[in-house]
Protein backbone atom coordinates (compact mmCIF):
# COMPACT_ATOMS: atom_id res chain seq x y z
CA UNK A 1 0.00 0.00 0.00
CA UNK A 2 1.22 3.50 -0.85
CA UNK A 3 0.46 6.49 1.36
CA UNK A 4 -0.19 10.01 0.18
CA UNK A 5 0.43 12.27 3.17
CA UNK A 6 -1.72 15.42 3.26
CA UNK A 7 -1.32 16.97 6.72
CA UNK A 8 -3.14 20.16 5.70
CA UNK A 9 -6.34 18.10 5.39
CA UNK A 10 -6.58 17.99 9.18
CA UNK A 11 -7.95 21.54 9.19
CA UNK A 12 -10.68 20.41 6.79
CA UNK A 13 -11.53 17.45 9.01
CA UNK A 14 -11.75 19.67 12.10
CA UNK A 15 -14.07 22.11 10.28
CA UNK A 16 -16.43 19.34 9.20
CA UNK A 17 -16.78 18.24 12.82
CA UNK A 18 -18.13 21.66 13.81
CA UNK A 19 -19.80 22.70 10.55
CA UNK A 20 -21.66 26.00 10.78
CA UNK A 21 -25.07 26.37 9.19
CA UNK A 22 -25.53 29.19 6.72
CA UNK A 23 -23.95 30.77 3.68
CA UNK A 24 -20.21 30.17 3.41
CA UNK A 25 -19.57 33.72 2.13
CA UNK A 26 -21.67 35.41 4.82
CA UNK A 27 -20.08 33.29 7.56
CA UNK A 28 -16.57 34.04 6.25
CA UNK A 29 -17.19 37.78 6.57
CA UNK A 30 -17.61 37.37 10.35
CA UNK A 31 -14.13 35.84 10.76
CA UNK A 32 -10.63 37.26 10.52
CA UNK A 33 -9.30 37.46 6.97
CA UNK A 34 -6.52 34.89 7.39
CA UNK A 35 -8.77 32.40 9.17
CA UNK A 36 -11.42 32.67 6.42
CA UNK A 37 -8.85 32.95 3.59
CA UNK A 38 -10.24 36.34 2.58
CA UNK A 39 -7.69 38.03 0.35
CA UNK A 40 -9.47 41.37 0.07
CA UNK A 41 -12.58 43.16 1.34
CA UNK A 42 -13.80 45.79 -1.07
CA UNK A 43 -16.62 48.27 -0.89
CA UNK A 44 -19.16 45.81 -2.35
CA UNK A 45 -17.33 42.49 -2.76
CA UNK A 46 -14.68 40.28 -1.28
CA UNK A 47 -12.05 38.05 -2.83
CA UNK A 48 -11.71 34.71 -1.09
CA UNK A 49 -9.72 31.54 -1.64
CA UNK A 50 -11.59 28.41 -2.58
CA UNK A 51 -10.54 26.07 0.24
CA UNK A 52 -11.52 23.09 -1.93
CA UNK A 53 -9.81 24.34 -5.10
CA UNK A 54 -10.00 22.85 -8.54
CA UNK A 55 -6.41 24.07 -9.05
CA UNK A 56 -3.87 26.02 -7.03
CA UNK A 57 -4.83 29.71 -7.03
CA UNK A 58 -8.58 29.04 -7.39
CA UNK A 59 -10.22 32.16 -5.98
CA UNK A 60 -13.71 33.63 -5.94
CA UNK A 61 -15.17 37.13 -5.96
CA UNK A 62 -18.43 37.34 -4.00
CA UNK A 63 -20.70 40.23 -3.06
CA UNK A 64 -20.71 41.28 0.58
CA UNK A 65 -24.51 41.27 0.31
CA UNK A 66 -26.34 37.94 0.12
CA UNK A 67 -27.62 38.04 -3.48
CA UNK A 68 -28.68 34.99 -5.49
CA UNK A 69 -28.06 36.37 -8.99
CA UNK A 70 -26.28 39.26 -10.71
CA UNK A 71 -29.69 40.57 -11.82
CA UNK A 72 -30.30 41.60 -8.19
CA UNK A 73 -27.02 43.50 -7.94
CA UNK A 74 -26.60 47.27 -8.32
CA UNK A 75 -24.32 48.53 -11.08
CA UNK A 76 -21.56 49.65 -8.70
CA UNK A 77 -21.28 46.13 -7.24
CA UNK A 78 -20.99 44.58 -10.71
CA UNK A 79 -18.49 47.25 -11.76
CA UNK A 80 -16.31 46.44 -8.76
CA UNK A 81 -16.42 42.73 -9.66
CA UNK A 82 -14.98 43.62 -13.07
CA UNK A 83 -12.14 45.63 -11.56
CA UNK A 84 -11.38 42.93 -8.99
CA UNK A 85 -11.36 40.35 -11.79
CA UNK A 86 -8.69 42.38 -13.62
CA UNK A 87 -6.54 42.65 -10.51
CA UNK A 88 -7.01 38.95 -9.72
CA UNK A 89 -5.97 37.82 -13.19
CA UNK A 90 -2.89 40.04 -13.07
CA UNK A 91 -1.87 38.78 -9.62
CA UNK A 92 -2.40 35.12 -10.55
CA UNK A 93 -0.37 35.59 -13.75
CA UNK A 94 2.49 37.15 -11.77
CA UNK A 95 2.63 34.35 -9.23
CA UNK A 96 1.73 31.20 -11.16
CA UNK A 97 2.26 32.00 -14.87
CA UNK A 98 -0.77 29.93 -15.93
CA UNK A 99 -1.42 29.13 -19.59
CA UNK A 100 -5.05 30.20 -19.23
CA UNK A 101 -8.02 30.64 -16.88
CA UNK A 102 -11.52 29.37 -16.33
CA UNK A 103 -13.66 32.34 -15.23
CA UNK A 104 -17.36 32.00 -14.58
CA UNK A 105 -20.43 31.67 -12.40
CA UNK A 106 -22.68 28.71 -11.68
CA UNK A 107 -26.12 30.21 -11.06
CA UNK A 108 -28.58 27.76 -9.53
CA UNK A 109 -28.22 24.14 -8.43
CA UNK A 110 -28.87 22.78 -11.95
CA UNK A 111 -25.91 24.82 -13.20
CA UNK A 112 -23.61 23.23 -10.61
CA UNK A 113 -23.72 25.92 -7.94
CA UNK A 114 -22.37 24.63 -4.63
CA UNK A 115 -23.60 27.84 -2.98
CA UNK A 116 -26.83 28.47 -4.85
CA UNK A 117 -28.16 31.55 -3.02
CA UNK A 118 -25.06 33.79 -2.98
CA UNK A 119 -23.65 34.36 -6.45
CA UNK A 120 -19.90 34.44 -6.91
CA UNK A 121 -17.33 34.49 -9.70
CA UNK A 122 -14.79 31.66 -9.92
CA UNK A 123 -11.29 32.36 -11.23
CA UNK A 124 -9.29 29.17 -11.84
CA UNK A 125 -5.75 29.23 -13.22
CA UNK A 126 -5.11 26.48 -15.79
CA UNK A 127 -1.95 24.92 -17.19
CA UNK A 128 -1.55 22.64 -20.15
CA UNK A 129 -1.45 19.13 -18.73
CA UNK A 130 -2.81 20.14 -15.29
CA UNK A 131 -5.11 17.10 -15.31
CA UNK A 132 -3.55 13.68 -14.89
CA UNK A 133 -4.42 10.04 -14.35
CA UNK A 134 -5.07 10.49 -10.59
CA UNK A 135 -8.39 12.23 -11.23
CA UNK A 136 -9.47 9.63 -13.78
CA UNK A 137 -8.35 6.40 -12.09
CA UNK A 138 -8.23 7.27 -8.40
CA UNK A 139 -10.86 10.04 -8.13
CA UNK A 140 -8.08 12.10 -6.51
CA UNK A 141 -6.85 15.59 -7.33
CA UNK A 142 -3.17 16.22 -6.59
CA UNK A 143 -2.44 19.78 -5.46
CA UNK A 144 1.12 21.10 -5.61
CA UNK A 145 0.60 23.71 -2.86
CA UNK A 146 -1.68 23.89 0.17
CA UNK A 147 -4.27 26.67 0.42
CA UNK A 148 -2.47 28.44 3.31
CA UNK A 149 0.72 28.79 1.31
CA UNK A 150 -1.13 30.04 -1.77
CA UNK A 151 -2.91 32.59 0.46
CA UNK A 152 0.41 33.92 1.79
CA UNK A 153 1.88 34.09 -1.72
CA UNK A 154 -1.14 35.70 -3.36
CA UNK A 155 -2.38 38.26 -0.84
CA UNK A 156 0.43 40.86 -1.08
CA UNK A 157 0.58 40.66 -4.88
CA UNK A 158 -3.20 40.92 -5.20
CA UNK A 159 -3.33 43.94 -2.86
CA UNK A 160 -0.63 45.61 -4.96
CA UNK A 161 -2.61 44.97 -8.15
CA UNK A 162 -5.79 46.34 -6.54
CA UNK A 163 -3.92 49.45 -5.45
CA UNK A 164 -2.81 49.96 -9.06
CA UNK A 165 -6.34 49.73 -10.48
CA UNK A 166 -7.65 52.70 -12.36
CA UNK A 167 -11.30 53.45 -12.89
CA UNK A 168 -12.67 54.72 -16.20
CA UNK A 169 -13.32 58.46 -16.47
Q: What is the pLDDT along the chain (169 residues), one digit of tens a residue?
A: 666 667 766 666 666 556 667 899 999 999 999 999 999 999 999 999 998 888 899 999 999 999 999 999 999 999 999 999 999 999 999 999 999 999 999 988 888 878 889 999 999 999 887 765 445 444 555 556 788 899 999 999 999 999 998 655 4
The one catalytic residue among 44, 66, 99, 120: 120
DSSP H helices, 46-146, are 75-96, 133-137
118 is a catalytic site residue: no
Residue among 68, 71, 27 at smallest CA distance from 48: 27
In CATH terms, the fold of domain 21-163 is HIT family, subunit A (3.30.428)
Q: Is 73 within 8 Å of 67 (Cβ atoms)?
A: yes
> For strand 45-49 and strand 100-104, is the pairing parallel, antiparallel, or unpaired?
unpaired
Amino acid sequence: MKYLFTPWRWEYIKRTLKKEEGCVFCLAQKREDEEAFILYRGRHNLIIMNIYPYNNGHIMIAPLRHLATPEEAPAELLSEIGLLLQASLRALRRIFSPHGFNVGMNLGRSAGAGVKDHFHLHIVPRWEGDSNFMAVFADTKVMALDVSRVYRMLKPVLLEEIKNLTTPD
